[in-house]
Amino acid sequence: MRSPLSDYLDSAAPGACPDHLVVPRSLAQSMPLRWQQVFVGLLTDLHDAYPGVDWPEYAVSAVRAEPLTELDDAQLATHGYVTELGPDGDLEYRDADDRVVPGSLPVRVEVPDTVPPASAGQVPRGTVVLR
């Protein structure tokens, strides 16, 4: 079922993936006080609406989609792909079932997190932060 939230998150919103929405704590805690009050109210409403959910702990990693052609052998192996020369002498990418896949196939690889941790304190709005 479509909703305003699913429409927004499906439009390549930062921090959104098919199953989760990640809001960096440092940015949430840096919002103006009124925004934080509204956000806390929304989170409280969410948790109150689903009291029986057994929330797991999450381990969040910064990732980026990269084509297979941009990965080194170790990264390829981590994702279950290998390279070999095809019959015409060109490099082929193969999956775990030994099927040829396009080199343009995107996979998620870990990258440095560019958002500062909550321990960094206040993050000024509109700044580009690189670590």
**Is the pLDDT score of 105 beyond 90?**
yes
Better pLDDT: 7 or 48: 48
Neighbours of 70 (CB within 10 A): 14
**Is the pLDDT score of 131 beyond 50?**
no
What pLDDT shows up at residue 128? 52
Better pLDDT: 67 or 129: 67
**Is the pLDDT score of 127 beyond 80?**
no
Tell me the C-alpha distance between 100 and 92, whole Å. Answer: 7
**Is the pLDDT score of 66 beyond 90?**
yes
Neighbours of 28 (CB within 10 A): 15
